[in-house]
Amino acid sequence: MLVPCAGIYLILASFHFLIHPASCQDVVNTLPPELENATFSGLLLLSASPCSKSCGLGWRSEFYCKIDKEARVSDCKLTNTLCLVNQECGLIAKTTTVGATLSISCLDATIKSLGASDFIFVWKIARGIVTTDKYLFKIFLLKDTETPWMIIIKAIEEKHAGTYMCQVQNTKTMQVVKRVLIGVRVIPENLVQLNYYEVLSPEQKEEMQILQGNPVTKKKRESFWEKVKALFSSANLATKVIASGLAIGGGLALVFGAIFLCMSNE
């Protein structure tokens, strides 16, 4: 016979048994008379690991055991179950240039393992701004319905800038299991140099090479006169003539200045 309230008494009896094993018989004897001949069968969750993800669907390990009327534990097993800590995954910012191909997706490993066909992907957009205000979003119709979890825009233009929202729902329960915002900035190609490595100083480039494990040959530091010589050799003829004139003029000025000081002291 299965009693509706048996689960409540089962949990109370099992926790009391875990804390005070010696008083297990006392706990059983305190059951109401109508439950003394009832057959208890159920699973008791003894431990569970944290969810593998802080947002969206994740996995966690749960350790279950069967427990009977006498609070005897048997048939323990470890299982993996789905978990959902928070459906809001926040805002991700992306920057791209005009003419490039934009690809954004909200498919993760958990949804992929369960099967993307078991979920509904709803895309919305707030054009021209990066925002988290849900009231500013409008439905974004996908051209490619074969991959509803992904948006691909070829030869992107500035009009495609804005915030894209992907909302993932379970097809059976219609529960929202994930909501992610992707802010897209589109800038002209000649406005800024996006090649990070090219704007680094020689010292920063050398440090990056070392961090990546690439061998770096240290160059011998040039002396001041070697740098002057290299600069002078790389200059054109007119620059060399002007520099020579300045050098000769400066030298003569020093000589005449020294003579003038000597004569004035006398």
174 pLDDT band (50/70/90 cuts)? Answer: very high
> Does 161 have pLDDT greater than 80?
yes
Taking the whole predicted model, whether its pTM rises above 0.75 is answered as no
In the structure encoding, which two tokens stand for residue 185, read together?
A: 């900035």
pLDDT digits (tens, 9 = 90+) for 23-62: 444 444 455 666 566 665 677 787 889 999 999 999 999 8
Q: What is the pLDDT of residue 5?
A: 41
Q: Is 128 left (phi over 0), alpha (psi -120 to 50) or beta?
A: left
Q: What is the pLDDT of residue 234?
A: 59
Torsion, CA 125, CA 158, CA 102, CA 131, rounded to 10: -40
> What residue ranges define each of the domains in the chain, with the CATH number in brackets?
6-84 (no CATH), 88-187 (2.60.40.10)
Q: What is the pLDDT of residue 257?
A: 67
Q: What is the pLDDT of residue 17?
A: 40
In the structure encoding, which two tokens stand for residue 64, read together?
A: 């279950």
